[in-house]
Structure 1
Amino acid sequence: TLRYVPEESKDKVISDEDVLGTLLKVFQALFLNDFNKQSEILTMLPESVKSKYQDLLAVEHQGVKLLENRHQQQSTFKPEEILYKTLGFSVAQATSSLISAGKGVFVTKGLVPKGAVVSMYPGTVYQKYEPIFFQSIGNPFIFRCLDGVLIDGNDKGISKVVYRSCNGRDRLGPLKMSDSTWLTSEIHNPLAVGQYVNNCSNDRAANVCYQEFDVPAVFPVELKQYLPNIAYSYDKQR
């Protein structure tokens, strides 16, 4: 199904700034929640960035003066709990309420305000000229963007192998340039379920819509570990 949008700007329900703000807010909360496991990454960050996270963690856990002892006092929450604490709602995959629709995505806790970012469409990003024929066979998870770029959100088969290969290729030491946990049952980014959001039916109108967003080049490198997308070609950033 192709969407007709007369102008690219009219495909925006909320601004790119709002989308970016939401992603940074959620990813930063996930990073702080998993702070004990970020030691290798922290050693590669500038002192100003490390100090920022230490200050945020100290505010979040008032009374903890020595961060090296934080493991004794910090509670680690599940990713979906972090999403709820950050945005006021959580989402998860479950059997769709639509007949023969397979899986769907449901709000499991809280309320979603109008205009909120509720999920991300994960997968390998292909330019129009890049090979995707074999990955596309029998694959219902390929999303076509307005400019012809394709996102393969299939978490099985050859699509899964390709994503993991690209994910390993782009890794810089402890710094992960993307998240591959959406391919597993232990998802680190609770928003990475967008490929299972079903379209509307004759009986039920859509209550969400897709909006395209290009991750800026200045996106914090320590938070890229939560981005559920990877470019098929090494020299392309989407």
Structure 2
Amino acid sequence: MIRGAIKTLEAKWKSYRHRFVPWIAVNLRKNERTLRQVTARSEDKTVPDVEVSASLVKLFTALLGNDLSKREVLNLLPTSVQSRYAQNVPKTQTDSPGEVMLDALGFRIHRGPSSLPSAGTSVFVTHGSVTKGATVAMYPGTVYQEYEPILLQSIGNPFVFRCIDRVLIDGNDKGISKIVYRSCSGRDQMGPLAMCDVSWLTDRPENPLAVGQYVNNCSNERAANVCYQEFDVPEDFPLELHQYLPNVSYRHDTKRPLRCVVLVSLRDIHCGEELFSNYYTIVH
């Protein structure tokens, strides 16, 4: 019984330690070589946001045009919008989201067991290759401003991502986190058009990028090949493509753009490689 209790406490500590300031401070010193440092919030951009947006639009446009189940929704859109997808809409069958991703972006990623001991699930490039500066994945979840309640959702939750401006993204696909996300997604529905993606909560995400919460931390032996980049969805982002964004705001706010976090490649990444990010960024 004692051994079981110790294991339970150890598991809880592993899920909490990344939010325990003294532990973070000690480990920053231990892993100084793996730290990512920027001199200002404005410089925490590996590639311009316009390139991130263009990459997402390219993939989401291909996904929407490829999905037969979305054909009725497409018919409800203005003619000018329908014309974007006219050449992509299939007549009989569709490719899988992963195949669409490979065709649109030149690579495909997938979840699998990490090569690191006890690291659990990770993300790998399974087909094609990634060029430096490409948008490789997205961090899904409910977006909380620093003043919004997240205590209950954060208990035993290792998937809470903290942005530089203290905005939080809860990327957990189970428990209370899952219930909150689904509730918020239904609130923002606009007629037949969904304003976010809920499929990342399942084993078959319609947006194959939405697995960023499973990318493991780098180490002195395994250097980071991707990094996090905060991305606020621009006003001109096509409305019909919002259904593939794997994020939703905890409170509906039309004055504040939707915060997303993408993972961008730091170098060329080849087929078979595991993705590693850096969990710690210091802003001077």
Q: What is the distance in 2 between the residues matched to 1:124 and 1:42?
A: 27
> Equivalent residue for 2:76?
44
Alpha-carbon deviation of 1:96? Answer: 0.9
> Equivalent residue for 2:44?
11
> Equivalent residue for 1:53?
85
Which of 74, 89, 102 matches 2:107?
89
What is the one-letter code of the residue matched to 1:46? P
Helix, strand or coil for the counterpart of 2:228?
Answer: coil
Helix, strand or coil for the counterpart of 1:76?
Answer: coil
Preserved contact between residue 94 and residue 103 of structure 1 (Cα < 8 Å): yes
Alpha-carbon deviation of 1:214? Answer: 0.5
Alpha-carbon deviation of 1:217? Answer: 2.0
- More relative contact order, 1 or 2 (CA 8 Å, 6+ apart): 2
Alpha-carbon deviation of 1:4? Answer: 5.1
Q: What is the distance in 1 between the residues matched to 2:219 and 2:37?
A: 19
> Equivalent residue for 2:125?
107
Residue identity (%): 60
Alpha-carbon deviations, 1:114-151, whole Å to 9, x = none? 11110000000000100000001111101111111000
Preserved contact between residue 41 and residue 222 of structure 1 (Cα < 8 Å): no
Alpha-carbon deviation of 1:43? Answer: 3.7
In the superposition, the TM-score normalised over structure 1's length comes to 0.89
Structure 1 runs of 4+ aligned residues shifted over 4 Å read: 1-4
> Equivalent residue for 1:24?
57
Q: Map of 1:121-140 to 2, 5 A cutoff?
A: 121-140=139-158
Alpha-carbon deviation of 1:8? Answer: 1.9
In the superposition, the TM-score normalised over structure 2's length comes to 0.75
> Equivalent residue for 2:282?
none
Structure 1, 121-130 or 197-206: larger mean CA deviation: 197-206
Count of residues in Structure 1 that have an aligned counterpart in Structure 2: 223
> Equivalent residue for 1:60?
none
Helix, strand or coil for the counterpart of 1:237?
Answer: coil
Helix, strand or coil for the counterpart of 2:65?
Answer: helix
Q: Does the C-alpha gap of structure 1 residues 4 and 203 become closer, same or farther in structure 2, counting only changes over 3 Å?
A: closer
Alpha-carbon deviation of 1:25? Answer: 0.4
What is the one-letter code of the residue matched to 1:40? E
Q: What is the distance in 2 between the residues matched to 1:91 and 1:233?
A: 31
After superposition, the CA RMSD in angstroms is 1.6
